[in-house]
Every structure is written in C-alpha cells, then in structure tokens.
Chains A and B, each alone.
Chain A
Amino acid sequence: MPETRPRIGVFVCHCGKNIAGTVDVARVAESVSRFPGVVYATHYEYMCSDPGQALVQRAIKEHRLTGVVVAACSPTMHEETFRRAAEEAGLNPYLVEIANIREQVSWVHTGFPATEKAIRVARTVVEKVQGNRPLRPAEVGVVRRALVVGGGISGIQAALDIANAGFEVILVEKSPSIGGHMAQLSETFPTLDCSQCILTPKMVEAARHPRIRLLAYSEVEEVSGFVGNYRVRIRKKPTYVDPAKCNLCGECEKVCPVRVPNEFDRGLSTRAAIHIPFPQAIPSTYTLDAQNCLGIVPLRCGKCVEVCAPKAIDFDMREEILEEEVGAIVLATGYELYPKEAMAEYGYGTVPDVIDGLEFERLLSASGPTRGEIRRPSDGKVPKEVVFIQCSGSRDPEHHKPYCSKICCMYTAKHALLYRHAVPDGQAYVFYIDIRAGGKDYEEFVNRAMQEERILYIRGKVAKVFREGEKVVVWGADTLTGKRVEVRADLVVLAQAVIPSPGTEELARKLRVACGGEGFLREAHPKLRPLEALTAGIFLAGAAQGPKDIPESVAQASGAAAKAVAILSAPKLEHAPEVAEVQEELCSGCGICVPQCPYGAITVDEVAHVNEILCEGCGTCVAACPSGAMTFRNVEDEQILRMVRAALEAADVGV
C-alpha cells in the first residue's frame, strides 16, 4: 500500500445515453469529488474511447493518482481496457477498479434514485480501491506437449491438428484401436460417404505422425498439476501381442477356443479371446483379451502361441504405468447409446429383433457380421417391414433422458434410406416426434428419404413393442390423423438416446472438470467458451460435451486443438494475481478449504498453500475458512466492510 495519503481519480462515463440518459453523470462526478481520498473526478461521453482513455492517463500523471475508479459498464467489458491504459501511464493495473453504473444502475432503474445509487456505487469502489495493493501477474512455464484423451474422430482430429502445429501429442485410447464409433458406421449422412473410407486415412495419419504417440488400450489414471504443467499417469494394459512382430496372419484367432460377443459388432457376431477389432484397426495388431482368455497365469491353453509364426505373443507382458508431463489436455471421450435394456416400453432389450442404431449400422456395414446384407438377428431372414423409432429414450424427461440427442433424426433417415436401397421391396416406417434436420443439406436429405424413397414417416410416439410369433408388433399413434397404428414388423430399430461414454464422470473427477446434469462434460460458458472446461488448459471436443454429429465433432476438435496450441505456443503463461492467499501465521492447517476448491489449487501440510496458477479466484475457500486465515487479494474483509459502510452511509450523496 502506498505510504502517502490516497489520491483517487474517478471517471464517470456517459456511455452515450446508456448511462447519461438515466443517471445525472455530472452530479455523480461532482458528488464523488468531495469524498475523502478523491482528488480528481470528471465525466466524459465515452470513457472507453481513445480520448477517454487518454483522459485517464493524463489525470494519472497530472494528479499523481494512487488509484483509479472508472464508473461505467460491467468490469467484464472494459476492466482490461482501463487497466492497460493505467499501466501505460505508470500506475499498477490492479489499482484500477470499475464501478458498474450501467448494468447495475442505469439499465435497471429510472428517475431520481438512479443518480443516488450511482453515487453510492461509485463511493463503494472508491473505498475498495483505497485498500488495493499493487499486484503483479503470476508467471509459469509451459510443457510443450498435449494429451488427447479418446481416439474417436474428435480425438484423432485434435491430435492431428496439434501435431501439425508442431507440438508433441500423446493420444490415449482405452480400447485396442482408435477410430471410435465412426469406425462402426456404414455410411454417413447426408452425403452417404463410406464412413471407414473417410476415417481410416486419418487413423493412419495419426498412427504415422512423427509427433503423435499413440497409446491404445490405455487409460488415464491420475492427473495433477495445472495449466501448462499437468502431470499425467497413464495405465497401459498389456495386449500380450507385440505389435512390431504381429503380421496379422490371423492364425491365432482360428485356433483360439474362446468365443465371446464381439463388441465392435455390438454383439451381433462373436470373436476369439485373441482378436483384432476390425481389419483396419490402428495400432494394427491383435490383442489378447485376458479377461476372456482361458488363463494366462497359470497358462491353461496356449494354442495361439503354438501357431504364431512370428512369435509375437508374449504372455509375460505386464501392465505399464507411464508418467508424462503435458501442457494442455483435450478430452474427446465420446458417447455411448442409452441401453435398450432401459426401455421397458420396447421390451427391455429382450426381443432379439429390436436393435439399436449402432447395431443397424453394423448390419449395413460391408465389413459387418452380415457383410452388408440386412438380416435380422433372430433367424437371419431379410426383414420386409422395418420400423424405426426415433427419440427412443430422448426427449422423455419422465422416464428417460430429457434432452434431444440431435443426431438421430438424420441417421434414422439414412438408415431407412439405406435399408430401402438394400431391400427394394421392403417397407420402412419411421415414428418421429418432429424432424430436426438443422444442418447443411440435412433437410434435403430427410425430404429425399420421405419423398423419393417412399419411407412412411408417422408422426407419433410408439407406446409398445412386443414379440408375437415371428413378428415384432409395434403399437403407436399417428398424431396427424389421430388414429391408432399397428405395424407387424420384422425388425425394429431404436434410435437410442446419446449418453456420455462410460467412465466420463470418473475421468472428469480425476481432472476436476465439471459434468452437467446428464453427465456430459461441461463447458466454461455455453456460448462464449464452448471448447474449454472451467479448469484452465483443459479443452473439450466431440460428443463428450454433448450429442454431436461428425462435422460438428471435427469442427469442435479443431477448435479445441487451436485453443491447446495457443497455450503450448505461449512463451510463458500469465495468471491474474487476484486469487486466494493464505495468511500462514493464522492458518492451523485444518484443511477445510481443500475440498471446497473446484480447481484443486489448495494443498495442506503444516498450513494451507494456494497454487496461484490453478486458483481462479472464486473465493469459496475464503468463505469456508473458519479462522479467517484464507484471504482474497484485493478483496480483503476490511475492504468489504468499508464498501458496505460506504454503500449504506446516509450522509452526503450529494443529491
């Protein structure tokens, strides 16, 4: 704090008519000029304009100001502007404060009391700024490497963009291959490109990229540290196959006596315990699924080793724990479909010919269990009547998920259309609530499905689905005609709600990132910061943040990558110094503050410590600290009390 008596300058902004139309700005300046500590007060048309800023700078020099109060709009608008201007004029920027007389006064009041309130608001901030200390932003170095969690299309795109910008990337994928759900899809709407054909080049690029280190079959165990300096523990599960030696001959798979449902085909086919998820898998190698193997320790079978010519199988392979340092993290953990088993009205997933959208994708896929022929799971017959049910589990706040899963209208249209191509004499029905086809060429695509492909769109909800003999009976209502509808179908496809992939919440906890009510990762601001988590240095991409289609996921991934690159390429990171601070002589180390911190910025040994870089200045710990040892820089209790007194004091508001 300056030794001399305070010399505060107050600058009242008209903001055109925004403030001056309601508040008598001249009177505010005149009244404030008489407050103790104020040596200069004036008003001006637009303080944020260049001449307005120059006015402030001139006054700082001429009146040797020790503090500046700009009575204008919200500090979120121009605090930075005036602090920078003050710094140029030689005043520490943290001795500049904004008194918000626009959002909090002129816009919400009319008439005489507005001026009085403006004076009171200005006066409180004059009191506050007198207690401010000059501060300097904290600085920290950056580890120039990024971590991308999730190897779906979003994660691949983010990793490629960061790597192409010249930074190292660690790409962690929990399953044996990258590719994610996009690898399972048959064709993509609205262009009907083959999904794998457009995905696999990117997968290969990611695998071959000199700056991308791919860790498949791996999971993030623990994350500590802070923006620019995260420390990550990654658990790499053993695949028991050396990818360098494996030549993909597939002999092991043939001799393996185990058959379990194939996850990649959503259980529509089986696989051996030693398997490769799909032919183009990256890394291109077999994986021995230890859980389903007859036994490695002690070895019970070992048939695969006997036939492996390149001797790639190694039962002694152990789990590895990798410790890595990264500067930024992109979370792209993707989605899963809401389980059919939750759908009481559609038979709890027990009717074999009621399948979900991804299962139908596998049926459509040329590399799928039926080689692209549409055959239903129960008896392998080609279904002649197929019912597609949209919003299955979505937009149903009473029983299921309240939100719209966004991609189902489009993929259902695609499904119905591809079905009609595959089975020209088949009939497709689509039950829908509304069609939400907001996207480039999306509406046209749905119209094509409705009109050219003669798919029967029925507006209404399906009440019940049950099995009757060989048929799956669908009871619904057509709300346009008001009639009951019964379809005796051969196959029913549910457009299940999109939910966050399992483990998303656990990962979020490890990273101290918030999840929304439905478990999707929460962005820092729904409109202005959609790519960032609230924790600095962590970015979100793809369906982990909310249901998204491929182009949106790719766009968000590129955006998140750009944000990550901005951190990785900064010479140094600066952090606002207005954060929590421990008065160590008062702290007893009780630790009550620790769990309060949403950023994990507090550690305790003998006393509590705040990591200045991690602290975002929310003040929760200050409120929780029972002994008053936790304080907030430039928002000390004493300042708040002075402000309250100044706000409530009856005397001399000058009106």
Chain B
Amino acid sequence: MKVNLAVYWTGGCGGCDVSFLELGPNLLGVLSRVEIVFWPALVDTKREDLERLPPRSIDFALVNGVIRTAENREMAELLREKTKFLGAYGACAHLGGIPGLANQAHGILESVFGPNFRPAPPIEGYPEDAPAQVLFEALPLEDVVSVDFVVPGCPPPAGLVARFFQAALEGQISLGQVFAEEKALCEECPRKREERRITRVARPHEVLLDGEKCFLDQGVVCMGPVTRAGCGAACPKAGMPCTGCLGPTPKAGDPGLAMLSALASLVRAGEEGEAAFPEEDKILDGFVDPIGTLYKYAFAKYARSLAQLTKRREGMRA
C-alpha cells in the first residue's frame, strides 16, 4: 500500500524541493513507496487537481516556503483540508526563514509618506493576471494553518529528511514532532570549548579562525547553543558558525533573545561590575547586524511587536 504524498512550494527559493535529491540512491526506495498526488515542481499537477481531491485524502503534505501572498495562504488552507498530516518543511515554513526578515521593513513607507499612505491601485484597475495580493507580512506556516510536524533546516539535511520518510512510511509520526534533536547543536560540534568569555565580537571574515576552537570563544557569534542538533554540526565542521536553521531547542523560546542573553553573559571586559559596563557595551557595539544574525530564520515567528500583532490580525482578515 503506497502512501499519498503532496509537496508544495510557497514563498521560498526552491532549495527545499531540491533537497530531496540529497537522499541519493535512497530516494528511489522512498519514491517506490509513495504515490505523488500533488507536487508542482516535480509532476504536472495543478491547483484544480488538488481541489478535486476529497478531504483528508493525502496522507502527508510537506509545505516549504513562507506564507507571503494571499495565494500562498489559500494553497496552504487547501492543502490542510485535503491532508491528514501536514508538515512544515524547511526553515521558511517552520519559522518564516530568510524571507521573514522582510518583516523588518514594516512601517518604512509609512514613516516616509505619512501614516495613512497606501499605494494607489493602477488607473485601469488590477489586471486579471496581476501578481497575487502581498500580505502585510511574511508568516510561518503555523500562523495560517495548524501544522502537525516539522522537518526543519535550510534546506532540511538529508539525514533528517530520511528520518521523516522512515517515520512517515511506518506511520510513526506524532503530532508536534520536530525531526531534529532536543539538545542544542553543541552536542554534535567537535570544536573545543575553553574560555567562555568574549572580549571582541567579530564576523567570520574579520578574524583568522582556529578550526579547532569554539566560534564563541573566538568572538564569532554562533547560534549553535540555541539551535537544535540534527545536522551533525555541518556548518561548524565546514568552518562557518551555525546560523540557526534548524530552529530553537524546545525550551529556548525566542532564539534571538536566548542568544542575546547568552552573549551578554559571555562578554567580559576586565573585572565584573559597573566599571566594566562601558567597555562591555563597546564590545557588543561591534556586533554587526544583530537581527540578521540572531533571527536569520526565525524573525517572522518570534519578532512581533504589539502593533504588528494587531496589524497581523487585520492582515489575516483582509
């Protein structure tokens, strides 16, 4: 008995669709046991085909990409209706991903043109094939439909994809499951941790990095301590700090805040106490692009002001 599978791509780069190839020869085994009912990137299936399917007829649907347009949202809702187990596949669907960083731009137009600025519609009205209406902000999948499980990563590493398929084919998926470890990446990282003290914050290209030493000990912000293990510390092993694509560990909460709190704890200038504060502030001032570093993938999910939450609700209604 084959398992019905759907894969769909909303606002993303397409890397997630390609990531299945990472399974290598094992992909053939997987494909022989699934029936692809909907996967526009791979087989010729259209929205109408999906609409024709009876509710809950798809066993597993994997949505990759952020929800950025009204059409994305409609497709997500449609898939939800047709699917038993709907999963967020990749960092965009999981956390908002890199496209979610666009949410920083809220209010830029308003601040330039005044509070009631709205772009005027074209004089002739919107053409029929006009691009879909862009939502107020980029949203992780869980903000528009309920998500049953997550295959995290940017893109999901082969090992975790394999783990998902194994569980899916054996019917072993539990609600809320995240196909990664509960512990942080440091668990898998071979780098040596010694000093646990930051006296300078630097970007990887600004220092001659020691390949054996923990990035944090060298002043390079690594998201490893707040990020789930599961990738085998691929980036740190390749000489780059973790950027957090597998998302925060279950108890970390907002990964940016957790990491910022950890950084503030690690930065030390001289002896403890108020006298060191100005010097420590200076060290942290050297931290370029905190949002892009701390929230590279998770901005849309975690960085929400009250005003944004209100707008988001309005946006949902629109």
Residues of A within 8 A of B (CB): 514-515, 517, 583, 585-592, 594-596, 620, 623-629, 637
CA distance A637 to B252 in the complex (A): 10
Do residues A626 and B187 form an inter-chain contact, with CB atoms below 8 A? no
| Minimal Cβ-Cβ distance residue in A for B259 | A626
Q: Identify the closest chain B residue to A623 (Cβ).
A: B261
Q: Which of B8-16, B221-229, B283-291, B305-313 contacts A (4 or more CB under 8 A)?
A: B221-229
* Known contacts A586-B182, A626-B184, A628-B252, A592 near B197 by CB under 8 Å: no
| B185 in the interface (beta carbon within 8 A) | yes
On whether A586 and B183 interact (CB within 8 A), knowing A595-B266, A627-B225, A627-B251, the answer reads: yes
Beyond contacts A586-B250, A592-B225, A628-B251: 20 other A-B pairs, Cβ-Cβ < 8 A, are A517-B275, A586-B183, A586-B249, A588-B225, A590-B225, A595-B196, A595-B265, A623-B261, A624-B265, A625-B258, A625-B262, A626-B225, A626-B226, A626-B252, A627-B225, A627-B249, A628-B250, A628-B258, A629-B183, A629-B184
Alpha-carbon separation in the docked complex, A586 to B227 (Å): 11
With CB as the reference atom, state the residue of chain A lying closest to B185: A588
B251 touches A624 (CB 8 A): no
A627 adjacent to B261 (CB under 8 Å): no
A592 adjacent to B249 (CB under 8 Å):
no
Establish whether residues A627 and B252, one from each chain, have CB atoms under 8 Å apart when the complex forms. yes
Contact A592 B251 (CB under 8 A): no
Q: Do B197 and A595 touch (CB < 8 A)? A: yes
B residues with CB within 8 A of A: 182-187, 193, 196-197, 216, 224-226, 229, 248-253, 255, 258-259, 261-262, 265-266, 268, 271-273, 275
Shortest CB distance A638–B (Å): 10
Q: How far does the Cβ of A247 sit from chain B's closest Cβ, in whole Å?
A: 48
Asked if B262 and A626 sit within 8 Å, CB to CB, the answer is yes
Which chain A positions have C-beta within 8 A of B187? 588-589
In the A-B complex, list the 7 residue pairs whose CB atoms are closest, starting with the nearest: A628-B251, A588-B184, A624-B265, A590-B186, A626-B225, A588-B187, A588-B186
A residues near B266, Cβ cutoff 8 Å? 592, 595, 624
Contact A588 B265, CB 8 Å, known A627-B252, A628-B251: no
A592 near B196 (CB under 8 angstroms)? yes
B258 near A591 (CB under 8 angstroms)? no
The smallest beta-carbon distance between B51 and chain A, in angstroms, is 42
Contact pick for B262, options A514, A624, A637, CB 8 Å: A624
Shortest distance in angstroms between A532's beta carbon and chain B's nearest beta carbon?
Answer: 19
A and B contact pairs by CB, cutoff 8 A, 13 listed: A514-B272, A517-B273, A586-B182, A586-B250, A588-B249, A590-B186, A590-B225, A592-B216, A592-B225, A626-B259, A627-B258, A629-B184, A629-B249
Once A517-B275, A628-B253, A637-B251 are accepted as A-B contacts, the answer to whether A588 and B229 lie under 8 Å apart by CB is yes
Cβ contacts under 8 Å, A586 to chain B: 182-184, 249-251
Q: Tell whether, in the assembled complex, residue A628 and residue B197 are in contact, meaning their CB atoms are under 8 Å apart.
A: no
- What residues of chain B lie closer than 8 Å to A515, measured between beta carbons? 271
- In the bound complex, residues from chain A placing their C-beta under 8 Å from that of B182 are 585-586
Q: How far is the CA of A627 from the CA of B184 in the complex (A)?
A: 7
Q: Is the CB of A591 within 8 A of B193?
A: yes
CB distance from A601 to the nearest CB of B (A): 15
For B187, the closest partner residue in chain A by CB is A588
Q: How far is the CB of B12 from chain A (nearest CB, A)?
A: 27
In this complex, the member of A589, A590, A620, A629 whose beta carbon has the largest number of chain B beta carbons within 10 angstroms is A590
- A588-B187, A589-B187 known; A620-B265 Cβ under 8 A: yes
* Residues of chain B contacted by A596 (CB below 8 angstroms): 265
Interface contact A590-B265, CB-CB below 8 Å: no
Q: Are B183 and A592 in contact (CB under 8 A)?
A: no
In the complex, which residue of chain A has the Cβ closest to the Cβ of B262?
A: A626
Complex Cα gap A78–B255 (Å) = 39
**Residues in chain B near residue A590, CB distance under 8 A:** 184, 186, 193, 224-225
Give min CB distance, B252 to chain A, whole Å: 5
Bound state CA distance, A628 and B226, in angstroms? 8
A624-B267 Cα distance, complex, nearest whole Å: 11
Given the complex of chains A and B, what is the CA–CA distance between A585 and B181 in angstroms?
10
Task: Report Cα–Cα, A595/B197, bound state, in Å.
Answer: 8
- Do B183 and A588 have beta carbons less than 8 Å apart? yes
Complex Cα gap A589–B187 (Å) = 7
Q: How far does the Cβ of B149 sit from chain A's closest Cβ, in whole Å? A: 20
A623 neighbours in B (Cβ, 8 Å): 261, 265
* Chain A residue, CB-CB nearest to B197: A595
Minimal beta-carbon separation of B15 from chain A (angstroms)? 26
Contacts of A620 in B (CB 8 A): 265
Q: Cβ of B262: which chain A residues have Cβ within 8 Å of it? A: 592, 624-626
A-side contacts of B252, CB under 8 Å: 626-628
Q: Chain A nearest CB: distance from B178 CB in Å?
A: 13
CA distance A325 to B252 in the complex (A): 40
Determine the distance from Cα of A637 to Cα of B266 in the docked complex, in whole angstroms. Answer: 22
Residues of B within 8 Å of A629, CB to CB, are 183-184, 249, 251
Chain B residues near A514 (CB, 8 Å)?
A: 272
